[in-house]
Chain A
Amino acid sequence: MQAWRIDVVVRSDQQDPMGASALRALRAAALDGVEDVRSRRGYLLAAELTEAQVRAFAAAVLCDPVVDEFVLHAPGATPPPPAGRHAVAVVPRPGVTDPVAHSVQKSLADLRLPVVATGTYRVYDVRGRVDPARLLQVARKALANAVVQEVLLDALPAGLPGEPPLPDLRALPVPLAQLDRAGLERLSQDGGLALDGAEMLAIQRHFAGLGRAPLRMELETLAQTWSEHCKHKTLTGNVRFEGRTIENLLKSTIARVTHTLARDFCVSVFVDNAGIIRFDDEDSVCIKVETHNRPSAIEPFGGAGTGVGGVIRDVLGTGLGARPIASTDVFCFAPPDLPADRVPPGCLPPLSVLKGVVAGVRDYGNPMGIPTVNGGVHFDDDFVGNPLVYVGNIGLLPTARAHKQAHPGDVIVALGGRTGRDGIHGATFSSLALHTDSEMVSSGAVQIGDPITERRAMDAVLRCADEDLVSSITDCGAGGFSSAIGEMAEGLGAAVELQHAPLKYQGLAPWEVWISEAQERMVLAVPPAKLDRLLQVCREEACEATVLGHFTDSQRLVVTFAGTVHADLDLHFLHQGLPVRTQDASYAPPPRSEPKLPPETDCGKALLAVLSDYAVCSKEWIVRQYDHEVQAGSAGKPLCGVRADGPADAAVLAPKLGSLRGVVLSNGLNPRYSKVDPAAMAECSLDEAMRNLVAAGGDPDYTAILDNYCWGNTRDPQALGELVRATEALCALAMTYRTPFVSGKDSLHNEFRAADRTIRIPGCILVTAMSVIGDVRATLTSDGKRAGSLLVLVGVTKDELGGSVYYKTKGELGQNVPRVDHQLGRDVLIGCHRAIAARCVLSAHDLSEGGLGVAVAEMALGGRLGARVDLALVPTGPGVHRPEQILFSESQSRLLLEVAPDRLADLRANLHQVPFAVIGELTRAPELVFHHDGKGLAKVPLDAVERAWKRPLDLDGTLVEAAR
């Protein structure tokens, strides 16, 4: 379609940050010879507008009259690039969500101009001695993502995409009665259904009994509903392990802990989008953590953004609607400096993944107005093909709204974004292994988010909830309408008239509309008497809402499109017909041994090396890009201390404005331990989450936890055995800690098949912990407060350098990975909390990666103080002789406390029998001084600590400078 093209440029006498940023990106991608980059923001307006209309619109809306100017190109014109420059144009591919194009249309309407088709693009005008072919090649990666964007050299987009071909609206049967198991498996694979032979046979049997073939939409619905993503087939299946059969792994481990503990603060567990616990007499808080690994591997920006959007909708659709109040995000990446020859074809460079994911979280979470308050980033080479993107959200809802139930006769309302072809087969895609070609083949499963559409949906849903207009609600996530409506209809029935679904563009077949995972959509069950009011509220909030059908009592899911039946499924079969999977699992410990290292000659240098490891270093470059203040609930920020650069252990929120009641939120994970023993990894995840929580002032006895699995490939018995082992260790500790699981998630196929090798991630269970506290004024930060304070180490330091950062800096893994002494662990958490609640403690910091050395360094740096520590005073276990063991052991259940000298007796009284020792003090001199056995061991200036700790992820090159 022909279009006007409008190039808006920053005037040459003005700064052009977008151009400068592109210049940095090109140089970082090793493109030599670039001297300067200027940017253009391009707009396409369909040719039916007149030149005068376009000119007036550009001047009024597209161009900033203070700093910009614009150039208009007539439809069909082929303007050359600016003299002496190459023009790199980045254009969204057809069908990719382009929210700006929609806003352009809105402004056309506001100016009473014809609302025509629109599009956008960006251009970078590059000056310098560069080879054009090489420029194009670099720009494709450094300035764009080929999955969602096309890159043109010295050309502008020819016009707007034309009308798509008409869709096939027929309800076609898929004949499968004659197929054998292999044939069925092939059908599943060719169709991207991700169903195994047994599942396909069950479907074949079901339809044989009905005497007909399944319609395509029916088969797609079954594939979505039965996907690993939706049904957790592995975790809810049976496992034969070490001579026993575990029936329904999830139920007999994770869920059993919760049901056995029967904590009275649990309001709703495992049944809803998110787990719900009581907050105060009126309200509850709910929490959910999701993974969005696959999409993020292929298109980090869109993948991470829509992950955030998805988990926000999870919370929004919890109970009868919860207000999202905070996000938490944890990532696992390959190290940003991984050499290019170790990045297999088909994988994006780790630094691009990191930057894209951070930008995606930023550009979805911030516009939504939901603070990202807490998180973590972990690094290991084996995440190169499968980066992990954990996205979590918590919400606040009246406890009276915690339960939902649709009724026959309720109207099915779809609300929010429109449906497009984006995200088709996301649920089944996430159940398959990634491979070299995934980047292009699976691009339909990748989407770009539109946060403002979701924000409108959120505003509308919460108003409707406040007015009691809905009887049930859920989000459209994996499987789209098919899963959302299918789940709500369980035990009832539904009649859907799919032709009413609003589409982003024409050309979708009915089955595509039904399973599309287009973002920003919610499904509501609305009593007929309340429908008019609901639609009115949606209009007031400028949020599109459409009636799609109604719930019935037929126990059938019936979907028609313009009168033709496309699906008529027995809901019992849909939800209960999935064959239970039984898998074999085994566990053989990997052959690991302790390295024979010479005694550390320079503990100060070793500490700086540990501080510079990606696992330990400052994440400030990431944190600052997230809005952690919006909603004004922040009472404990991700960065703390006199210069707001110390790391916080957990987030503290006071979500009800004017109330001091609070929520403490933390995470725990260390993928490296999993390489030695997945059981240690699992225990340590829980212990770390709890230590972080307690250090910030959380109450370990009023804490709910979430388990979030990411595993390599659980179809391999050893991998599944590792998972079982990890799960059992986690559950045993959760029983002792009396922390119920309230929600969880799993992503069990994180394997990358490169040409010559298969790369599997280490098994990870992220534990997220959320505590409710009475008064946020009793919470703490990790930064040291006063010179002269005592440094108190609680817990026991053991010979546990296995999997440590210290070993990593020596190129070793080791064997003695930290394990948790359950009773000691609980005593430490309870004792420290009692002391903190009694205001005996000025600051507290958990000991995790990097051990005591890092904890002391971070506490001192946050407070811009020095510290003097005598390692000989540290309570140790057997086999601990060398100072580097004391300094860098990652033994669990340890916290570093800052205590005023006159409060030491109170501290002792509150800690009861928990082992602890005064190991030194905070000092005014800006240096860390370590002694051992009466001898000076190391003296490290604080500014060296700061440089070492901030430099690795100082991606703008401003953090170290800014600290001066």
Chain B
Amino acid sequence: MSAPKCLILRAPGINCERETLHAFARAGGAPSFVHSQQLLAQPERLDAYAILAVPGGFSYGDDISSGRVLAQEIKAALGERILKFTQRGGLVLGICNGFQVLVRLGLLPCTQGRLEEEVTLTHNLSNHYECRWVTLQTTKSRCLFLPAGLTLRWPAAHGEGRLVARDPALQRLLLDEGYAAALYVDAQGQPTERYPQNPNGTPLAMAGLTDRSGRVLGVMPHPDRSYLPTHMPDWRRTQIERGQLPLDGDGMVVFREMVRLARAEG
């Protein structure tokens, strides 16, 4: 089976495209960049890919609100097309700003299977951007490629990462019905709303969402900055304790599992 093709979306202000590309390549995927202008001109190009990744960054400066302008730009031409892409077996990953874009497009959490904005990612309670490593626990979620029960350390780096649902009942449902794929946890491994383990104040500690089909994953913290062993914040201690470094950093699991699933299904 050949390497699954991964479309790494570029756009003005998207700035994590190179590490996202490298992580997919390291996982055995065949990634390439496509600029939003090219994709808007030829939306059908998406159909040639197994995986779509919307990397992190500050698309259009996150002016108005994070991800809003890019989502608005591509919504008409690509919103439904991406939904169909997943229905035909495509996988989608949105990291940080990419997650924000997918939420604004209505692709996440997409509980009703149609594009509407059910949740938002809005300003951190601190009201400013913050870069810090957080600990995540993956849940038994709908997501087809993020295994449950993992404890992962990834860096969060955002100013608008507080995930708020349209109403408290939906916020609860996201957790209860397997949409919340990763939770911020404290030192005891318990989901937490407390700063700084939960860096933005998201109710019910949700750090990532999947959709109804489990084929789309959006995460605020960055697996694309934690996939190499030397990315990890305290790798020297690990090296001293174990005598050597592990093969991967904690973020690599996402890329490996996406590529593995795409290959298995392809």
The reply to whether B22 and A777 form a contact with Cβ atoms under 8 Å apart is no
Q: Give the residues in chain A near B73, CB-CB below 8 Å.
A: 106-107, 110
Chain B residue, CB-CB nearest to A102: B63
Instruction: A30 to B26: give the CA distance in the assembly, Å.
Output: 55
Instruction: A962 to B64: give the CA distance in the assembly, Å.
Output: 31
Q: Give the residues in chain B near A820, CB-CB below 8 Å.
A: none
Q: Give the residues in chain B near A629, CB-CB below 8 Å.
A: 131, 155, 157, 222, 225, 231
Chain B residue, CB-CB nearest to A19: B127
Instruction: A450 to B224: give the CA distance in the assembly, Å.
Output: 26
Q: Check A452 for interface membership: any CB of B closer than 8 A.
A: yes
Instruction: A631 to B124: give the CA distance in the assembly, Å.
Output: 23
Q: Give the residues in chain B near A654, CB-CB below 8 Å.
A: 228, 230
Q: Check A350 for interface membership: any CB of B closer than 8 A.
A: no
Minimum CB–CB distance from A38 to chain B (whole Å) comes to 13
Instruction: A362 to B62: give the CA distance in the assembly, Å.
Output: 14
The reply to whether B19 and A67 form a contact with Cβ atoms under 8 Å apart is no
Of the candidates A67, A785, A962, the one whose C-beta lies within 8 Å of that of B120 is: A67
The reply to whether B64 and A107 form a contact with Cβ atoms under 8 Å apart is yes
Q: Check B31 for interface membership: any CB of A closer than 8 A.
A: no
Contacting residues of chain B (19-44) with chain A, CB-CB under 8 angstroms:
19, 22-23, 26, 35, 37-38
Minimum CB–CB distance from B53 to chain A (whole Å) comes to 14
The reply to whether B58 and A451 form a contact with Cβ atoms under 8 Å apart is yes
Instruction: A842 to B239: give the CA distance in the assembly, Å.
Output: 10
Minimum CB–CB distance from B235 to chain A (whole Å) comes to 8
Of the candidates B12, B69, B126, the one whose C-beta lies within 8 Å of that of A956 is: B126
The reply to whether A455 and B157 form a contact with Cβ atoms under 8 Å apart is no
Of the candidates A103, A626, A657, the one whose C-beta lies within 8 Å of that of B19 is: A657
Instruction: A632 to B222: give the CA distance in the assembly, Å.
Output: 10
Q: Check B49 for interface membership: any CB of A closer than 8 A.
A: no
Known: A455-B13, A456-B12, A632-B224. A625 touches B61 (CB 8 A): no
The reply to whether B15 and A103 form a contact with Cβ atoms under 8 Å apart is no
Contacting residues of chain A (614-635) with chain B, CB-CB under 8 angstroms:
624-632, 634-635
With contacts defined as CB atoms under 8 Å apart, how many contacts are there between chain A and chain B in the complex? Answer: 183
Instruction: A808 to B245: give the CA distance in the assembly, Å.
Output: 44
Per-residue contact bits, chain B 162-181, to A (CB 8 Å; 1 contact, 0 not): 10111000000000000000
The reply to whether A107 and B224 form a contact with Cβ atoms under 8 Å apart is no
Q: Check B214 for interface membership: any CB of A closer than 8 A.
A: no
The reply to whether A542 and B234 form a contact with Cβ atoms under 8 Å apart is no
The reply to whether A103 and B225 form a contact with Cβ atoms under 8 Å apart is no
Minimum CB–CB distance from B135 to chain A (whole Å) comes to 11
Contacting residues of chain A (244-272) with chain B, CB-CB under 8 angstroms:
none
Minimum CB–CB distance from B28 to chain A (whole Å) comes to 14
Q: Give the residues in chain B near A202, CB-CB below 8 Å.
A: none
Contacting residues of chain B (91-143) with chain A, CB-CB under 8 angstroms:
117-120, 122-133
Q: Give the residues in chain B near A362, CB-CB below 8 Å.
A: 128-129
Known: A627-B157, A657-B22. A632 touches B225 (CB 8 A): yes
Q: Check A61 for interface membership: any CB of B closer than 8 A.
A: yes
Q: Check A564 for interface membership: any CB of B closer than 8 A.
A: no
Q: Check B57 for interface membership: any CB of A closer than 8 A.
A: yes
Q: Check A640 for interface membership: any CB of B closer than 8 A.
A: yes
Chain A residue, CB-CB nearest to B166: A66
Q: Check A15 for interface membership: any CB of B closer than 8 A.
A: yes
Q: State which of A332-340, A366-374, A475-483 sits at the interface with chain B.
A: A366-374
The reply to whether A777 and B64 form a contact with Cβ atoms under 8 Å apart is no
Of the candidates B15, B58, B127, B165, the one whose C-beta lies within 8 Å of that of A20 is: B127
Contacting residues of chain B (210-234) with chain A, CB-CB under 8 angstroms:
222, 224-225, 227-228, 230-231, 233-234
Contacting residues of chain A (769-803) with chain B, CB-CB under 8 angstroms:
776-777, 779-781, 785-786
Minimum CB–CB distance from B131 to chain A (whole Å) comes to 5
Instruction: A358 to B196: give the CA distance in the assembly, Å.
Output: 20
Of the candidates A20, A106, A625, A785, the one whose C-beta lies within 8 Å of that of B60 is: A106
The reply to whether B129 and A625 form a contact with Cβ atoms under 8 Å apart is yes
Instruction: A102 to B12: give the CA distance in the assembly, Å.
Output: 13
Q: Check A104 for interface membership: any CB of B closer than 8 A.
A: yes
Q: Check B68 for interface membership: any CB of A closer than 8 A.
A: yes
Of the candidates B61, B68, B166, the one whose C-beta lies within 8 Å of that of A61 is: B68
Instruction: A452 to B69: give the CA distance in the assembly, Å.
Output: 13
Instruction: A885 to B125: give the CA distance in the assembly, Å.
Output: 45
The reply to whether A15 and B64 form a contact with Cβ atoms under 8 Å apart is no
The reply to whether B131 and A628 form a contact with Cβ atoms under 8 Å apart is yes
The reply to whether A64 and B58 form a contact with Cβ atoms under 8 Å apart is no
The reply to whether B164 and A14 form a contact with Cβ atoms under 8 Å apart is yes
Of the candidates B16, B63, B166, B231, the one whose C-beta lies within 8 Å of that of A103 is: B63
Q: Check B1 for interface membership: any CB of A closer than 8 A.
A: no
Q: Check B84 for interface membership: any CB of A closer than 8 A.
A: no
Per-residue contact bits, chain B 244-266, to A (CB 8 Å; 1 contact, 0 not): 01000000000000000000000
Q: Check B90 for interface membership: any CB of A closer than 8 A.
A: no
Per-residue contact bits, chain A 89-105, to B (CB 8 Å; 1 contact, 0 not): 00000000001101110
Contacting residues of chain A (321-370) with chain B, CB-CB under 8 angstroms:
359, 362, 366-369
Chain B residue, CB-CB nearest to A64: B120
Chain B residue, CB-CB nearest to A18: B127
Known: A625-B131, A626-B131. A542 touches B63 (CB 8 A): no
Instruction: A31 to B128: give the CA distance in the assembly, Å.
Output: 22
Q: Check A641 for interface membership: any CB of B closer than 8 A.
A: yes
Q: Give the residues in chain B near A100, CB-CB below 8 Å.
A: 61, 63-64
Q: Check A29 for interface membership: any CB of B closer than 8 A.
A: no
The reply to whether A62 and B125 form a contact with Cβ atoms under 8 Å apart is no
Chain B CB count within 10 A is highest, among A110, A450, A640, A958, for A110
Q: Give the residues in chain A near B122, CB-CB below 8 Å.
A: 64, 66-67
Of the candidates A61, A540, A660, the one whose C-beta lies within 8 Å of that of B72 is: A61
Chain A residue, CB-CB nearest to B194: A962
Contacting residues of chain A (78-128) with chain B, CB-CB under 8 angstroms:
99-100, 102-104, 106-107, 110-111
Instruction: A455 to B60: give the CA distance in the assembly, Å.
Output: 10
Q: Give the residues in chain B near A894, CB-CB below 8 Å.
A: none
Chain A residue, CB-CB nearest to B65: A64
Q: Give the residues in chain A near B128, CB-CB below 8 Å.
A: 21, 359, 362, 625
Instruction: A102 to B63: give the CA distance in the assembly, Å.
Output: 9
The reply to whether B60 and A644 form a contact with Cβ atoms under 8 Å apart is no
Q: Give the residues in chain B near A103, CB-CB below 8 Å.
A: 60-61, 63-64, 69
Of the candidates B123, B165, B225, B234, the one whose C-beta lies within 8 Å of that of A642 is: B234
Contacting residues of chain A (598-621) with chain B, CB-CB under 8 angstroms:
none
The reply to whether A781 and B236 form a contact with Cβ atoms under 8 Å apart is yes
The reply to whether B13 and A452 form a contact with Cβ atoms under 8 Å apart is yes
The reply to whether B117 and A65 form a contact with Cβ atoms under 8 Å apart is yes
Minimum CB–CB distance from A614 to chain B (whole Å) comes to 21
Instruction: A634 to B226: give the CA distance in the assembly, Å.
Output: 10
The reply to whether B228 and A632 form a contact with Cβ atoms under 8 Å apart is yes
The reply to whether B129 and A366 form a contact with Cβ atoms under 8 Å apart is yes
The reply to whether B133 and A644 form a contact with Cβ atoms under 8 Å apart is yes
Known: A99-B63, A100-B64. A630 touches B225 (CB 8 A): yes
Q: Give the residues in chain A near B228, CB-CB below 8 Å.
A: 632, 654, 657-658
Contacting residues of chain A (913-964) with chain B, CB-CB under 8 angstroms:
956, 958, 962
Known: A61-B64, A67-B120. A785 touches B237 (CB 8 A): yes
The reply to whether A368 and B166 form a contact with Cβ atoms under 8 Å apart is no
Minimum CB–CB distance from A243 to chain B (whole Å) comes to 54
Instruction: A630 to B129: give the CA distance in the assembly, Å.
Output: 14
Write 17 A-B pairs (CB below 8 A) sorted by A numbering: A14-B164, A15-B125, A17-B127, A64-B117, A64-B122, A65-B117, A66-B165, A103-B69, A106-B60, A369-B16, A452-B13, A540-B38, A624-B131, A630-B19, A640-B234, A642-B237, A657-B228
B residues in contact (CB < 8 Å) with A: 10, 12-13, 15-16, 18-19, 22-23, 26, 35, 37-38, 56-58, 60-65, 68-69, 72-73, 117-120, 122-133, 155, 157, 162, 164-166, 195-196, 201, 222, 224-225, 227-228, 230-231, 233-234, 236-237, 239-240, 245
Other 14 A-B pairs with CB < 8 A, given A452-B13, A642-B234, A644-B233? A20-B125, A21-B127, A66-B166, A103-B63, A107-B69, A110-B73, A362-B129, A369-B58, A630-B56, A632-B225, A642-B237, A658-B26, A956-B126, A958-B196
The 3 closest A-B pairs by CB, nearest first: A369-B15, A103-B63, A632-B19
